[in-house]
Amino acid sequence: MNIATTRGTTSRAMSLPNILTYGRIAAIPVVVGCIYAQSIMDYPLWLRWVAVAIFIGAAVTDYLDGYYARIWNQQSAFGRMLDPIADKLLVASCLLMLAADGIIHGWSLWAAIVILCREILVSGLREYLAALRVSVPVTKLAKWKTTVQLVAIGFLLAGPAGDEVVPMVSLIGLVLLWASAILTMYTGYDYFRAGIHHLIKEDEG
């Protein structure tokens, strides 16, 4: 690899869209740490608002990194790889912490399980299809699913702190989590169907 290529790769890796994605990953231990400290170690409720604020900031970068990558023509293979990974890490970490916290409990655990299983399924399918050089674009419904999912987690992170300000914040979060799980199953089926279609074609070929 020559010097020009190395510099170009480094420049793309340190572009603003990718820096925003790094920020989303860096926010994960802070959000989880705040909820852990408040719930497990019985620290003050205001820590949940810190977690919510940081989570909202991280969620906003999910939109901004793609927006700036498009308008500034800074799209890269590295960014396309890292962006969905950052999303999955953020969602999975928050769901696991909320389950440990007890905000997600009982039947609602199934909604979280559906969401996590779908993410694993889609990751596996994307890896398989990438080996076939097949790209599966993100649908508008999948984007809505992500939006509902992030809003649900935001409400659940507020949890008891939110309930003190506006009653039923936790309940609203759980309802949105189930709505997200339903959308997750539908969009996951779309990805699975596309994967099976290419698998059959590969076997026949």
Residue 132 has pLDDT above 50, yes or no: yes
Q: What pLDDT is attached to residue 136?
A: 66
Of residues 204 and 31, which shows the higher confidence score?
31
Of residues 67 and 116, which shows the higher confidence score?
116
Q: Provide the residue ranges of all domains of the chain, joining segments of one domain with +.
A: 16-204
* Mean of the per-residue pLDDT values of the chain: 84
pTM for the structure as a whole: 0.86
98 touches 153 (CB < 8 A)? yes
Give the mean pLDDT of 107-113: 96
Query: What is the secondary structure of 91-149 as a DSSP string?
Result: HHHHHHHHHHHTSS-TTHHHHHHHHHHHHHHHHHHHHHHHHTT---PPPHHHHHHHHHH
Least confident of 46-55, 59-68, 180-189, 190-199: 190-199
CA distance 64 to 55: 14
50 touches 158 (CB < 8 A)? no
Q: Which residues of 135-157 are buried (b: 16+ CB within 10 A; e: fewer)?
A: ebeeeeebeebbebbbbbbbbbb
pLDDT digits over 3-43, tens only?
A: 444 444 455 667 778 888 899 999 999 999 999 999 999 99
| Architecture of the domain spanning 16-204 | Up-down Bundle (1.20)
